[in-house]
Amino acid sequence: MENKLKQLKEILAECVDLMYAGALLEWDQQCYMPTGGSEARSYQMATLKRLAHQRLTSSETGQLLEDLKPYAEQLDPDSDDACLLKVAQRRYDKNVKVPSELVMEFARAAGASHVVWTKAKAENKFSDFQPYLEKIIALRRQYADCFAPYTHVYDPLLDDFEAGLKTADVQAIFADLRAQQVSLLQEIAARPQVDASFLFLNFDEQKQWDFGVEAITKIGYNWECGRQDKAVHPFTSNFSSGDVRITTRLTPDYLGTALFGTLHECGHALYELGVNPAYDRSLLGGGASLAIHESQSRLWENLVGRSFPFWQYFYPRLQEYFPAQFSNVSLETFYKGINQVSPSLIRVEADEATYNLHIMLRLELEIALMEGSLEVKDLPEAWNARMKDYLGVAPSTDSEGVLQDIHWSNGYIGYFSTYALGNLISAQLWERIQTDIPDLADQIRRGEFAPLLGWLREKIHHHGSKYEPQDLVQQVTGSKINAAPYMRYLRAKYSEIYGL
């Protein structure tokens, strides 16, 4: 059996190599590739994904998994080998239902649409992107049909990003969460608004970049195993535990874009950099799920990066970078300003109290697209209507609305709910962290981030994809994904800022 396990691990390592090679091509496409390379790149990525899929779903892989079942039953269920066999079996069972031709066609469609989306967003032309998105939605429906019968057509896509979670589960969580967040927003709206005008001045882009680099270096980003580049829509890419790259976006007349975007992507990177190196070239490498991943990025962006202790340490340095903008702005005023609650058009720049409403909006639209109750051509109008209903604002252009996010151009249908779920998990983790590190606020105030990062390394990062997301959350916090800690966090924070 040891020999069969070795054979399986070699096959899976080849699959991982191919997947990361494709991810490297995608990173290059978004950071450096000239637009003229778009068509050829779509073929290259499609070929790599087809080869990885064929290797994973081969009869050899299936037979090895079958032969190893008795061996797996004898292992400690928490052992690396037992978890690897469980993950591999799940991946095989799902992927074997999908034809390689569909995998390749979808990869080509997503690869080709990215450049079109980038141009359409820049020129505010949804009509240029529409046929590409229509093809992606059609291919996602074909993909979902590979898993029929299903409870809901959206379930197979959601499962790709959050294993085991059903559409009905997310809808139930969001229904309860929305009512609570709307109530909180109404209370905040009744109070005098805090000032944030000082964030909307002219900020030298190189200084923004330099401050961001200084901040994420301090909290633990390892530049020997990573780099930062610019992208239209910030993202993080990992190719091993020793190569995790981030991107950011700079806005000359608003500091928050780069400031919090850099912290967000660093949170993703810290997760990948902390995965057990023994899991490189293994299906246990990488994060447990997208919601767990977002819990890390949102934790560093918000629970740390928008906290008062964080800025007690970093604000004097920010004032040195931008004395003209902040020399007459007190720390308390700055802290309230970066936490201002104001419904806005752009998800990635939304405050914590309204952010989840952006996610709920997208989830509803994706479900409608998959069900066929909404056509792609009607998406801008539906987007604007829901923005008005959910947040009381509506975009004047599609670039600020339906075209603002990169995910649909990459075919990531089923992804968006993980952002809000990540918010919930981050607050659950935060309550546990504060119990385990009672002087956490004082540590952050002194610029000491190693204990916090060490806790996350031990409890979350090191395990990679070894555990299913709900099991990992239960193991660390004592309960599965739960909205109550997040609402306690929001209410406590904004009661102080707005005097609720």
Q: How far apart are the first and last CA of the chain?
A: 63
Q: Are 285 and 16 in contact (CB under 8 A)?
A: yes
Residue 126 pLDDT class (50, 70, 90 cuts): very high
pLDDT value of residue 300: 98
Which ranges constitute the DSSP H helices of 68-202? 69-74, 80-95, 100-123, 126-145, 155-161, 167-189
List, for residues 392-415, the tens digit of each pLDDT value.
999 999 999 999 998 999 899 999
Position 210 scores a pLDDT of: 98
In tens, the pLDDT along 6-39 reads 999 999 999 999 999 999 999 999 999 998 998 9
Q: According to the model, what pLDDT value does residue 348 have?
A: 87
Residue pointed to by tokens 């977002």: 294
* 349 three-class SS: helix
pLDDT digits (tens, 9 = 90+) for 243-302: 999 999 999 999 999 999 999 999 999 999 999 999 999 999 999 999 999 999 999 999
Q: Which of 265, 294, 352, 366 is catalytic?
A: 265
1 pLDDT band, cuts 50/70/90, is: confident
Using DSSP bridges, classify how beta strands 236-240 and 228-230 pair: parallel, antiparallel or unpaired.
unpaired
Which distant-in-sequence residues (6+ apart) come within 8 Å of 181 by Cβ?
A: 353, 354, 356, 357, 487, 490
Furthest-apart CA pair in the chain: how many Å? 70
Q: What is the pLDDT of residues 348-369, one digit of tens each?
A: 889 999 999 999 999 999 999 9
At residue 299, what are phi and psi to the nearest 5 degrees? -65, -50
458 is catalytic: no
- pLDDT for the residue 73: 94
Q: What is the pLDDT of residue 176?
A: 87
Which tens digit of pLDDT belongs to each residue from 411-450? 999 999 999 999 999 999 999 999 999 999 999 999 999 9
Give the neighbor-by-neighbor strand order of the sheet with 228-230. Answer: 228-230, 243-248, 236-240
Integer Cα distance of 268 and 300 in angstroms: 9
Contact 369, 382 (CB under 8 A): no
Task: Find the mean pLDDT for residues 88-110.
Answer: 95
Give CA–CA dist 477/387, Å, rounded.
Answer: 34
The partner residues of 248 in beta bridges, in order of sequence, read 230
Residue-wise pLDDT tens digits, 297-324: 999 999 999 999 999 999 999 999 999 9
Neighbouring residues of 163: CB distance < 8 A, sequence distance ≥ 6: 90, 289, 468, 469
The candidate with the shortest Cα–Cα distance to 459, out of 224, 304, 271, 209, is: 271
Single-letter amino acid, residue 336: K
How large is the average pLDDT for residues 201-224?
Answer: 98
